[in-house]
């Protein structure tokens, strides 16, 4: 692995485990057993590392939200979209732990994130349109944009929601299973639009991700 990639991988690991604010470039260098000067040869500061990690996350989400052009969507596609998106949330969870701080700190990142959000909104709308065309859901056009926005709000804020509730109940950390519970909530948003033909199948899928532990 190239040194630059090693730095990014180490930074991602430390940011996820300790929180981005707690990790400095010196911590990253020490974790890798390299001098700070060697790290600065590749990245002049921590903001550059965060920006590069966001670009990786952005590329993964873009790939995961692609809609097939040669066939209709299926309910398996629907589940696959959600699982991949929440896997990405977990792998880059430091961003969603403190997104507002990161965007305030770096205007370049903020500008990039706004464009990313608009693209994700359009792709989520395209997924719901595809589900409508496949008769999995029935939704009026005027409601489709709102459902797509509500879905994206739940997805991107779910980690913060868990963090606020867990901290107030003495839990020490958020697990991947807890994060995946957000899938249940997205299914819940979609339930009113399910067609009778697919309602039971989708409900069965939803039950795999029940997100109602005792602390809720």
16's enclosing H/E stretch is helix 3-18
Instruction: Quote the distance between the C-alpha of residue 142 and its chain's center.
Output: 26
pLDDT in tens, 35-65: 999 999 999 999 999 999 999 999 999 999 9
Query: What average pLDDT does this structure show over 60-78?
Result: 93
> What is the per-residue pLDDT for 1?
81
Give the chain's mean pLDDT: 91
pLDDT exceeds cutoff 80 at 210: no
Q: How far apart are CA 162 and CA 49, in angstroms?
A: 26
Residue 193: the pLDDT is: 97
In the prediction, which pLDDT does 37 show? Answer: 93
pLDDT higher than 70, residue 216: no
Q: How high is the pLDDT of residue 56? A: 97
Summarised one tens digit per residue, pLDDT across range 86-108 is 999 999 999 988 888 899 989 99
Query: What domains can you pick out in the chain, each with its CATH number?
Result: 1-44 (1.10.10.60), 46-209 (1.10.357.10)
What percent of the chain lies above the pLDDT cut of 90? Answer: 75
User: Which of the residue ranges 86-90, 99-103, 149-153, 210-214 would you say has the lowest mean pLDDT?
Assistant: 210-214
| Distance separating alpha carbons of residues 65 and 62, to the nearest angstrom | 5
pLDDT at 130 over 60: yes
Count CB atoms within 10 A of the CB of residue 131.
Answer: 28
The arithmetic mean of pLDDT across residues 9-16, rounded, is 97
The pLDDT score that the predictor gives to residue 167 is: 65
Residue 214: predicted pLDDT: 54
Can you give the length of the chain in residues?
A: 216
Average pLDDT of 115-132? 96
| 17-21, 134-138, 212-216: segment of lowest average pLDDT | 212-216
Q: Is 135 left (phi over 0), alpha (psi -120 to 50) or beta?
A: left
First to last CA, the chain: 43
- Mean pLDDT for the stretch of residues 74-82: 93
Q: Is the pLDDT of residue 177 over 90?
A: no
Examine the pLDDT at 139 and tell me if it is beyond 60. yes
């Amino acid at each position: 692995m190239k040194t630059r990639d090693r730095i990014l991988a180490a930074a991602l690991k430390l940011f996820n485990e300790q929180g981005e604010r707690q990790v400095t470039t010196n911590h990253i260098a020490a974790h890798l057993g390299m001098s700070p000067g060697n790290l600065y040869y590749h990245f002049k500061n921590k903001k550059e590392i965060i920006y590069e990690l966001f670009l990786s996350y952005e590329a993964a989400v873009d790939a995961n939200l692609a809609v097939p052009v040669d066939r209709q969507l299926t309910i398996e596609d629907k589940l696959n979209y959600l699982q991949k998106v929440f896997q990405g949330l977990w792998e880059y969870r430091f961003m969603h732990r403190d997104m507002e701080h990161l965007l305030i700190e770096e205007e370049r990142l903020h500008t990039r994130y706004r464009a990313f959000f608009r693209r994700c909104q359009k792709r989520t709308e395209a997924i719901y349109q595809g589900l409508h065309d496949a008769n999995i859901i029935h939704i009026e056009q005027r409601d489709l944009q709102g459902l797509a926005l509500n879905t994206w709000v739940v997805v991107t804020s779910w980690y913060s929601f868990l963090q606020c509730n867990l901290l107030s109940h003495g839990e020490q950390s958020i697990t991947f299973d807890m994060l995946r519970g957000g899938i249940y909530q997205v299914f819940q948003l979609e339930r009113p639009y399910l067609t009778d033909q697919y309602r039971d199948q989708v409900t069965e899928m939803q039950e795999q991700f029940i997100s109602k532990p005792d602390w809720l």
